[in-house]
Structure 1
Amino acid sequence: METGMIEKRIQKQRCTIHITIDQFNKRVRVDDYLGHFQECVEESLKVAKGMSAEKIIFKSRKENVLELLAQGFLYEGSIDKFFLGSDCFFLVKYKRNERRNSEEWEKEDQILSDIQSLPIKTGLDDPPSAYQGRMGEVTDALQLSQLYGKVFEVYPTPMNDPSYVKKCMEKGTVFYVFVHEGRIVSAASAEIDSFYHNAEITDCATLPEHRQYGLMKHLISALEDYLISHGIFCIYSFARSLSFGMNAALHQHGYSYRGRLANNCYIFDKLEDMNLWVKNFT
């Protein structure tokens, strides 16, 4: 699958913005900004208009939230201590009614309510001895791409392409995997922002026939240990709002629910709402 995702740094006279242009998901995302704030907003809207984006996401600092709300942006979620200890707020603007409206919202509310009634687990049961957990290596790129290709019919990034997986690893994304009979059957990664000392746990996938052993919880725990040992203390993750298993894994692992991004990206055969979960180790 082709992603069409481009990260750009736009420098103007009074502002600088770091923006992700995401053609595949028909959205733009402002990841960071500096300088005259109103000019940052205006430049972002110009980029969105130029690519006919249906959704604009602004990762805002606290001091700019009210200004964005005053300009028609909506609050959808937040990440505690994202910017070197300062909170990040996801403010969004929609350019199409269909992109704003979610048909599954009530069902997702019920799933979330059921998950939040589950107890937090303090320990993990060991998986069967046939499963070996370890850090992923560049030589795993082909097997990882095959895993993602099997689990996800459609995915926001081209993880079914081994060259893309290899490129992610070379840029610093860390993978942990479980191997069964010589094949990778479960994997998760951490995309690290070493400047702001945060990381996103993402690309979580387990083959259906191996899901009864709680492998993902072990992978998340291994990633956390790695991140903490490398000075990363703000960890977050997005999970499909309709996925009971993935949201439950994060909740029971001590992550806190911090919002839901509507129609955020294409997974499987449609746009999906994504729940935001956050955990801090400071």
Structure 2
Amino acid sequence: KDRESLIALYKAAYLDYPYPSRFEKQVDEGFNKGAVYFGIFEEGKLVETARMYVYPELVHAEISDFASHPNHRGQNLSYYLVEEMIASAKERSLKSICVQARATSYGRNITLSKLGFECGGTLRNNTLIGSSLESVNVWYQKL
């Protein structure tokens, strides 16, 4: 059920994505590599998600693959999601956590700053999103 809920949310969040089958592979890869998925639910339906990869040997975690249901965008739900992810990383005694955010995603970048992340820099035109290259900001936090 979790797998199907995640795939459905990614498909709803990225309607214009040219390769919808990528979402099945993405979710399966996450489960296979031990990613921890976090979610916000409304009336039992997943409306916001992201996953966290934990690297015990590095005492580090990486947050990736945010998705918001179109009906719930602009509600700053990712703030609460990332807040829980930070708490989880601290419970695991990790030393740091990082996340990449599209440079043009002003809300996400502001949210990360409000949560105490530091911007380590911008990777210019290095990330293929959909069918075009985009710049991403790399954010990190020492825990």
Unaligned 5+ runs, structure 2: none
Which runs of no fewer than 5 residues in structure 1 stay unpaired? Answer: 1-138
* 8 Å CA contact retained: 1:236, 1:276: yes
Q: Which residue in 2 is equivalent to 1:160?
A: 23
CA deviation profile, 1:21-46 (whole Å, cap 9, x unmatched)? xxxxxxxxxxxxxxxxxxxxxxxxxx
Q: Aligned with 1:195: secondary structure?
A: helix
| In structure 2, distance between residues paired with 1:164 and 1:247 | 23
1:231 and 2:93 correspond: yes
Question: Deviation digits for residues 247-281 of structure 1, max 9, x if unmatched?
Answer: 11101111111111111121134111010111001
C-alpha RMSD of matched pairs (Å): 2.0
Give the conservation status (yes or no) of the 8 Å contact 2:123–2:137: yes
- Aligned partner of 2:83 in structure 1 is 221
Q: Relative contact order: is structure 1 or structure 2 higher (C-alpha 8 Å, sep ≥ 6)?
A: 2
Q: TM-score, normalised by structure 1?
A: 0.47
Of Structure 1 and Structure 2, the greater helix share is in 2
* Contact preservation (8 Å) 1:187, 1:206: yes
Identity of aligned residues (%): 28
Shift of 1:194: 1.1
Instruction: Determine the structure 2 residue equivalent to 1:270.
Output: 132
Matched, 1:252 2:114: yes
Superposition misfits of 4+ residues, deviation over 3 angstroms: none
| Aligned match of 2:103 | 241
Paired position in structure 2 for 1:211: 73
Q: Given the alignment of the two structures, is residue 280 of structure 1 paired with residue 137 of structure 2, yes or no?
A: no
For 2:113 and 2:50, the matched residues in 1 are separated by 17
Counterpart Cα distance in 1 of 2:22 and 2:6: 8
1:219 alignment partner, SS class: helix
**Highest CA radius of gyration, 1 or 2?**
1
